[in-house]
Amino acid sequence: MREFPDDASCLEHLWRQRYAPDGEHAECPKCERERVFKKYATAQGRQSWTCTGCGHHVHPTAGTIFAKSSTSLHLWYYAMYMMASTRCGLSAKQLEREIGVSYRTAWRMLNKIRNELMADDGEPLRGDIEADETSVDGKPRKPHGQHPQIALGRSRRSEAMKLRERSRATVFAAVERGGRVKATVLPSRRGPALKAKLVEWVEPESIIVTDEWGAYKGLERHFLAHSRINHSSGVYVEGDTHTNTIEGFFGHLKPAIRGTYRKVSHRWLQGYLNEFVWRRNARYAETSMFAALLDRIDA
């Protein structure tokens, strides 16, 4: 509220961040050179900056998530601030109450922030990488101890397993030890899908650590090395061979999604993953998390 007290200060910020660091000089796309710009309201009443050489208008919101939105920039900035500062997520219901927009508007704003500002930056991971998959409803792929459905008859059991498989989304994630994380929703937890993602995310001269799940077999062919920890025989740490970092990420993600968002459909799950991944990675930003999010407006 101090830094951005109103719409005008948010617009001025966008103008400076995207076009004119000093607020006055910007590259004019029409003149194809640096020009002095002045701020005028256009005939439609929208604020824009005008090239004093040729009269070309620059709208600082064009091409951003705020373009064509009827919600004020000030409310957008406030929503971004809340998204950057919460630890456990922000429900549309809460944003609706907080800024007085409709539930639909609140939901659309959060969706845009998650899917555009917080989307993966495409920077590869390197070094010691832990990878693991899970389902957001919290059930492990093979529960330790007695199987909960062991009491059911054989056919009913496989029927129930199939149903559960279908209704569950696989979340696959990889983390650089001491660094960033990436996470995605996959249609299956089988080998080819997992391997393709890892190859896309991780530089080949990295060391991969996973558990003993068969889908991870053969990863040493794509990377410098691959070590596996045998969870099913009760071993969780063996020197550097453990997946505690990635499990720690899941351990925060899953209760937070359940607590704040209740049930998340497959269709929107990636957005929620983006949100938690972004927030975790932004810890390493040199600026505040809100400033880091503002930096993404242009990305």
Please choose, from the candidates 25, 54, 19, the residue with its C-alpha nearest in 3D space to the C-alpha of residue 37: 25
Token pair, residue 159, equals: 């029927």
To Zn ion, the closest distance from the beta carbon of 33 in angstroms equals: 8
To Zn ion, the closest distance from the beta carbon of 18 in angstroms equals: 16
Residues in a beta bridge with 130: 175, 209
**Nearer Cβ to Zn ion, position 57 or 108?**
57
Q: Is 16 in the site for Zn ion (CB under 5 A)?
A: no
To Zn ion, the closest distance from the beta carbon of 35 in angstroms equals: 5
Q: Is 30 in the site for Zn ion (CB under 5 A)?
A: yes
Q: Is 20 in the site for Zn ion (CB under 5 A)?
A: no
**Nearer Cβ to Zn ion, position 28 or 253?**
28
The single residue among 3, 5, 6, 31 that binds Zn ion, judged by CB under 5 A, is 31
Q: Which residue reads 């993600």 in tokens?
A: 253
User: Helix or strand or coil: residue 28?
Assistant: strand
To Zn ion, the closest distance from the beta carbon of 261 in angstroms equals: 47
**Nearer Cβ to Zn ion, position 25 or 30?**
30
- Binding track, positions 174-213, relative to Zn ion; x by CB under 5 A: ----------------------------------------
Angle formed by the axes of helices 103-112 and 92-99, to 10°?
Answer: 110
DSSP strand pairing (225-229 vs 207-211): parallel
How many chain residues interact with Zn ion (CB under 5 A)? 8
To Zn ion, the closest distance from the beta carbon of 59 in angstroms equals: 14
- Binding track, positions 56-95, relative to Zn ion; x by CB under 5 A: x---------------------------------------
Please choose, from the candidates 94, 83, 102, 81, the residue with its C-alpha nearest in 3D space to the C-alpha of residue 262: 94
DSSP structural state of residue 41? E
DSSP codes joined into one string, 232-276? GGT---BTTB--HHHHHHHHHHHHHIIIIISS--HHHHHHHHHHH
Using CB under 5 A as the binding rule, the residues of this chain from 37 to 56 that contact Zn ion are 51, 53-54, 56
Q: Is 28 in the site for Zn ion (CB under 5 A)?
A: yes
To Zn ion, the closest distance from the beta carbon of 32 in angstroms equals: 8
Q: Which residues contact 269 (CB under 8 A, 6 or more apart)?
A: 136, 169, 171, 185
Q: Is 18 in the site for Zn ion (CB under 5 A)?
A: no
Token pair, residue 275, equals: 């949100």
Residue 218's alpha-carbon distances to 206, 215, 248, 265, 284, in angstroms, are 14, 8, 25, 32, 32
Residues at the contact surface with Zn ion, assessed by CB under 5 A:
28, 30-31, 35, 51, 53-54, 56
